[in-house]
Amino acid sequence: MVARLLSDLPKPTTIKQALRNGLGFFSKLQTADGHWAGDYGGPMFLLPGYAIVMYITKQPIEDEARAEIIRYLSNLQNPDGGWGIHIESESTVFGTSLNYCAMRILGVDRADDRLCRARVWLAEREGCLRVPSWGKFWLAVLNVYSWEGVNSLFPEMVLLPQWFPLHTQRMWCYARTVYMPMSWLYGKKYQCPVDSLIHELRSELLPKPFDEINWASYRNEVASEDLYTPHTRVLDAFYAAVNVYEKFAPAFLRRWALDWIYEVLEKENEFTNNICIGPINKMTNMLIVWIQEGPESTAFRKHAERVKDYMWLGRDGMKMNGTNGSQLWDTAFMVQGMIETDLRDEFKDVFRKAHDYIDVAQIQHNHPEHRRYYRDETKGGWPFSTRAMGWIVADCTGEGLKGALICKRNNYTPTPLSDSRLFDAVEILLKMQNSTGGYATCEKTRGSHLFEWFNASEVFGEIMIDYDYVECTSSALQGLCQFRDMYPDHRRKEVDAAITRAINYLFRMQRADGSFEGMWGICFTYGTWFALDGLGAAGYDCTDPRIMKACDFLASKQKPDGGWGETFLSCVHREYSQHPKSQVVNTAWAVLGLLKPFC
């Protein structure tokens, strides 16, 4: 398809012609409703959850999809036979155990060379026994692992008073919406009925017969290849206590906790039109509805219908996206990129359609009883993907607001957003700002960083609460600055104060070498670009020494060929990691950051 689109474009001889070709190409990729669709894959622990739940609930997977998923997993298998936690990762027990199960569920024979090599890799590491906690969970649900080998997920945690520092509602929404369904399934001790495939998987992944394993001895065992966030002593003490509690948990408390969790999950399903915030809780919630309501229920049928929202067919095969897409995010950035060119008037129809999508994607209501179900207000905000998904994000709201303002200011839409809807966007941005001046993702920060003492994932860091981020703060700051330019009299005092707090936060986040650490892209290039963009929108330019220090940092990382390249290891080690080759995306980010203070 791409080759066909490119074949219609003339060979450029000038930069302007190349730019026209680029805009023309992207205009052909725009969908009928105005957005741009894109690959949002990367994690290698999403498809296994899909395969496991589809297998348990006996949902059909089309032959074409099955073949493409197998092709994807085959393409991402490492030379040593294993799979990693993400597409750039070295092999891990987590990635290998779960993707092995996915391949078998999808119909790959145990004698297949790909699976033989995976078993050899696992056999050197006690099979799947030392898989991290999320892997233990999925394998226990599949009945390849025993719940006895899983530390208690303590469903009764939701019954604590909400003022309690460790109450579930204080967790980051992505962690909370994963923990709650996991704890429901743990509380029920649900496991897939044993059939011939489960018997085979047990024999293929376990070093000894299932009934001969001392499962409890593996609760805290994690393979060295997987361990990123070791248990704290506090977490080990907590587990020791709740594992004892599990033996004596009063039945009425367990029922009370599970009933409340299920009610909250029902509201997540309702608020998100059964899409859910992400693919993990999408599949766990779907399984729980199947267990609770039955396979013929309307609730389960509606859930099953939305699974395809997450599936993406790319060059490397079919994968499960990390969300149901990035539609709003990509569309808002396309609008901002196009307005920077002097060809903008040639593509007015593209702007119009993009604005139509930005318009329809804005969430214009608060969910009923949102506070009861641990949700914040949403009216006026924008999501990362679609309005149907129902979760707003601070940076997406900032970027959506910018896109709407651009189209309105330049008369690129016959139906610009009303003042009241733009005011709603500003209202929610003002409400989402933390006392630090920074912005988190979907909600204000609710818990203390001490919550990380209880991070039980073993493979992720800083996931327990919603932290401030340079990128989220920059996007919100830019949106507020552009709004202030167009509406200088609307809540001026409050908008000015929010802008000042955001500026102060960003400068506090600047490192001694001038860089800013990004968390939602790779990594210091990404964060420094965002910081310079935000501070530039607020009026800071090359006359400020702090800005020049950030520019000096970017300039110092330029490679001899003129480009920039940074690896994902920057995110792992929290220090800049130079890539051996220059990369187009990193180069674009660096150039955008360097341009801002001088334009």
Active site residues: 395
How far is it, in rounded angstroms, from Cα 65 to Cα 566?
34
Q: Is 424 exposed, middle or buried (0-12, 13-18, 19+ CB in 10 A)?
A: buried
Torsion angle of alpha carbons 216, 217, 218, 224, nearest 10°?
160
Region of 205 on the Ramachandran plot (φ > 0 left; ψ -120 to 50 alpha; else beta) = alpha
> Alpha-carbon torsion 411, 417, 420, 426, what sign?
negative
Per residue, what are the HEC states of 492-504? HHHHHHHHHHHHH
How far is it, in rounded angstroms, from Cα 495 to Cα 509?
21
How far is it, in rounded angstroms, from Cα 47 to Cα 65?
12
576: which 2 tokens? Answer: 């800049």
Under 8 Å CB-to-CB from 549, ≥6 apart: which residues? 510, 513, 514
Instruction: Quote the crossing angle between the two packed helices 394-409 and 348-361, to the nearest 10°.
Output: 140
Helix (H) or strand (E) holding 355: helix 348-361
How far is it, in rounded angstroms, from Cα 481 to Cα 475?
10
Nearest Cα to 436, choosing from 503, 519, 528? 503
DSSP-derived secondary structure letter, 312: E
How far is it, in rounded angstroms, from Cα 454 to Cα 463?
10
Asked if residue 133 lies in contact with residue 150, where contact means CB atoms within 8 angstroms, the answer is yes
How far is it, in rounded angstroms, from Cα 16 to Cα 346?
13
What are the DSSP calls for 109-176, one per residue? -TTSHHHHHHHHHHHTTTTTTT--HHHHHHHHHHTSS-GGGS----GGGGGS-TTSTT-GGGS-HHHH
